[in-house]
Amino acid sequence: MSPSPRTRRGLLAAGLAGLVTAGLVVSVTTAEAATVFSSNFESGASGWSKSGGSWSLVSDGSQAYAQTDTGSERARQFAGDTSWTNYSVQARVKATAFGSTAGVVALTARAAGATKMYRLSLTGANRVQLEAMNGSAINVLGSLSQSISTSTWYTLRLNVSGSTISGTVNGTSVGSATDTSIAAGRIGLLTESAAGRFDDVVVDDAGGTTPTTPPATTPPATTPPATTPPATTPPATTPPPTSGALYVAPNGSASADGSLANPTTLASAITRVAAGGTIYLRGGTYSFAQTVTIAAGNNGTSSARKRLTAYAGEVPVLNFAAQSEDPANRGLAVNGNYWHLYGIVVERAGDNGIFVGGSNNIFERTVTRFNRDSGLQISRIASDTPQSNWPANNLVLSAESHDNADSDGEDADGFAAKLTVGSGNTFRYAVSHNNIDDGWDLYTKTDTGPIGPVTIEDSLAYNNGTLSNGGQAGNGDRNGYKLGGEDIGVNHTIRRNIAYKNGKHGFTYNRNLGTMSVSNNVSIDNTERNFSFDGGSSVFRSNTSCRFASGSNDKIVGNSDSSNQFWSGTNGSRCSTMSGALAWSFASNGSLVVTLGGRVVTP
């Protein structure tokens, strides 16, 4: 039952083929409540096995998996492994039609067969029920009155841990019971005499022993590996204290007191939390049409930060799919100072997923995905913000950003600290992949002048320029690390990073004529140059460049000595350990571990 501690999201083959089927992610990590499986159907439904019904992919804000035949008495889709025992499965579920009041649209766990499983069901009788199914016998373990709207998504979470079976809908308990009738089995999507839709399925080991990962299949060699949501690592926090805490849930009310039993809304909690206090976000999808803003002046202090964090073992997803693509339509705007965000997913905003205009903030284990500009961007709040107030000293830690893409294909990076940022901004243990433009963008313009020096360290950029579904755009720069612009010198620090198979250069000065410190970086099989520095006076030490496919020689202008191994037509001896499948993970302490061919290569 114990997976390899370094097998996780982002598994790639040395070629274009990967270990992940399009639309299906197998992921394991050593952190508490680790995600072991997820599927959001953006690139298909491979990995699911059908038993009855009429299933197809549909667009419903995002790609979803739909069963449309209300006359079908038994429609199932299964995924995972029959040996899975203790785990939690969560999904967004919509019952689009009921053939009768006996109709059911359900999420299932421990499916030992087509008629033997635990179910968390939306019913045609306007109830949510926790059930044990064994043949034709249905044992109701818990029940909650709930008006079921056929136009509404509900977040269902089903937990199986030993003999304890429990479930929630939108963060509200449906019931918890003891039952020993089913010991192990797969997850499933189920309808009976009903039609329904399913999206954002995630399995984690919050129920106890980590499930065995289902077997991965290899997509065609032309299909880039998909590393799609949900969140990388749910937080490993403990249940919060009552003092100084506010609780938020997808079904919370702005007027609620914000207790665990009576949660409030995110917008309300942001205005009410005191310095040193914590906002706990319950798991599920929060749908927004407008930017959620932490306003300038809404500050913590250096010794008493304000915290916005996922509740223990749960994954809150801030979804802005209702926004149109527009520079004004950001997702979460953090313009205050001394905040600490943890374990939050932000997706599908009309511009940046997370915009950072404030200073001295920490963004830890966040995931920004499918946004229509850079996933996480640090820049000034407004055009009249004085340079002395440009955002400074922000830390992005153990974060992931992927599949961000704008319509013209040239602006959506994974991470950006560009145009108007102060000094001291740092990216550490971050992963940027499959964004339409660059992994990192530190661009400068002559009309705003130099930005403050940025540090990028112990991080990974791969497959930028190509989305997880294979999509590309001719306008994108497609670099791993783009470090400047317009002949402006800024002395960034770039150390102990890896660039792998990005669509243009791995590391590029991009007309930054400053003196950057570029040390202990590894760059492998980027389409053009692994290292591209045509000007400036940067200092290069102990960098490694390898190629196992065609590409251009590296170009280095600056202070470079024999500690470097750049590529000029042949590989050096260091490359002998740089071949094979690439895998990455966040260790329990947040550090990034990258392996190639099973060998640790993290600088």
Q: Which residues are catalytic?
A: 482
**What is the H or E stretch that residue 269 is in?**
helix 266-272
- Nearest partner of 230 among 329, 366, 77, 364, judged by Cα: 366
C-alpha pair distances (Å), 307 with each of 64, 233, 251, 266, 439: 33, 17, 21, 12, 27
Q: What is the DSSP string of 184-201?
A: --EEEEEEESEEEEEEEE
Quick one: tokens of 61? 């804000």
What 3-state class would DSSP assign to 96?
strand
Single-letter code of the amino acid located at 460: L
Quick one: tokens of 270? 């942001």
Range 49-83 burial, b when 16+ CB lie within 10 A, else e: eeebbebeeeeeebbbbbbbbbebeebbbbbbbee
Q: Which residues pair with 190 in a beta bridge?
A: 76, 106
At residue 202, what are phi and psi to the nearest 5 degrees? -140, 135
- Here the contacts of 55-59 (C-beta below 8 Å, separation 24 or greater) are 58/197
CB 359 within 8 A of CB 422: yes
Parallel, antiparallel, or unpaired for β 87-98 and 172-178?
unpaired
Dist. CA 349–CA 591, nearest whole Å: 28
